[in-house]
Every structure is written in structure tokens, then in C-alpha cells.
């Protein structure tokens, strides 16, 4: 049976309080391939602790798709603006994918933390079928996405030191959820104490 990493919590670059002293609960990174159950676990977590969590809005240099809104789905910016902000140290993480830049700004995380919420960064590894069904990808960009997902999965399967603080194998949903909730318990308690103060 193939055991698939489901969630990497608090990736080294994102899970620790950055050196510039961002106030509020530590951000959490959830990462896993499409179909591994990551969304199911996140949905359950939000049902039980919804007011504790918030999502940051990422930046991208790609054009908006029909129905996407600036500031809601993404912050749509030019490559030049995003490169300047990256060079200025305004981003926690960024990557280039299919010819476009994507990233999470410190300001986006601070906005969630200012509401005393745990900022969740959901890093989805898209499945091939789902991407093909969206019909928004060229074969070339689809091949790049899949290659990136394979590299990411290989890193997880090898449990590369320092990449994730925790890898949850979703071969039992209840046990996987318990492990996720336990890993976040201290941050949840902190956020609950502060919101009740």
C-alpha cells in the first residue's frame, strides 16, 4: 500500500516566528498531493476550531482567471513589482512556476495574525486529472506542475531533514486528524487564551 505524506506542518521557513518579530500565532503550512485527504482534514479542523484559523492571500504575476478577484483569490501584481518586493525582503516564501511568480508576503500573514488567528498556508500539489479538467493549463505548463509535484513528494517521502516538522501519513482519517490537532494544540490554546482576554 502506498503511504502518502499528507501534511507537513510548520515548514522551517514558515513555521517559526520570523526574525523581524511578527506578532501573533505562528503560521502553519499544510502541504500534500491532491487526493491525499489534506482538504478533508483541514475542513474538520475548521469545523472544530474555525475562529482560530485564517488564510493568507498569496501574490501572483499570472493574469486573473474568469471570476477571480484581486485581494480575495490572489493579489495580482506585475513581475517587476513582485521582484522588487522580494528583493526588499517583503516575502516569506516565493517560487516561480509555469513562468509566473507566486508567493506569500509578510503583510498577508500579518493581516491574519492581527486578527489573532493562526495563518494557514495551504500548499496544494495538484493532481493531473484535476488540472486537465480545469482546462486552463497548456500541456507544457501541466508537465511543469507535475514535475514539481513529483520532486516535492520525493522530498517528503525521504523526510528530508528540516523540510517539515511533522509528516502525517493518512492511512486512518481519525488518527491523522488527531495527529494534526495535537501538533497544533499549543498554538490553538494560545490563540484561544488571547481571544478570551
CA 24 → CA 29, 52, 112, distances in Å? 16, 12, 9
* Catalytic residue (choose from 3, 79, 132, 134): 134
Q: Catalytic: 193?
A: no
CA 72 → CA 9, 13, 57, 148, distances in Å? 24, 24, 7, 26
Radius of gyration of the chain (CA): 17
Q: Catalytic: 150?
A: no
Contact in structure between 127 and 35 (CB atoms under 8 Å)? yes
Nine-digit cell string for 119 = 495563518
Residue of 83, 78, 94, 84 whose CA lies nearest to 13? 94
Strand-pair partners of 101: 96
* Catalytic residue (choose from 4, 26, 117, 145): 145
Q: How far apart are CA 180 and CA 47, in angstroms?
A: 14
* Catalytic residue (choose from 3, 16, 65, 130): 65
Q: Catalytic: 44?
A: no
The alpha carbon of residue 55 and the mean position of all alpha carbons in its chain are separated, in whole angstroms, by 9
Q: Annotated catalytic sites, by residue? A: 65, 134, 145
Amino acid at each position: 500500500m502506498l503511504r502518502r505524506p499528507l501534511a507537513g506542518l510548520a515548514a522551517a521557513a514558515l513555521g517559526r516566528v520570523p526574525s523581524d518579530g511578527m506578532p501573533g500565532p505562528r503560521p502553519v503550512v499544510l502541504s500534500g498531493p491532491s487526493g491525499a485527504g489534506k482538504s478533508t482534514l483541514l475542513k474538520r479542523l475548521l469545523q472544530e476550531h474555525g475562529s482560530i484559523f485564517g488564510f493568507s492571500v498569496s501574490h501572483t504575476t499570472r493574469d486573473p482567471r474568469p471570476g477571480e478577484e484581486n485581494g480575495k483569490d490572489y493579489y495580482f501584481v506585475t513581475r517587476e513589482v513582485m521582484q522588487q518586493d522580494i528583493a526588499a525582503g517583503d516575502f516569506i516564501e516565493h517560487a516561480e512556476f509555469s513562468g509566473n511568480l507566486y508567493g506569500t508576503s509578510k503583510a498577508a500573514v500579518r493581516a491574519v495574525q492581527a486578527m489573532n488567528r493562526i495563518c494557514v498556508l495551504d500548499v496544494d500539489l495538484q493532481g493531473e486529472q484535476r488540472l486537465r479538467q480545469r482546462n486552463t493549463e497548456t500541456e507544457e505548463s501541466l508537465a511543469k506542475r507535475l514535475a514539481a509535484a513529483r520532486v516535492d513528494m520525493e522530498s517528503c517521502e525521504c523526510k528530508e531533514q528540516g523540510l517539515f516538522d511533522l509528516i502525517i501519513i493518512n492511512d486512518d482519517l481519525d488518527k491523522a486528524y488527531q495527529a494534526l490537532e495535537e501538533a497544533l494544540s499549543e498554538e490553538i490554546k494560545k490563540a484561544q487564551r488571547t481571544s478570551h482576554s
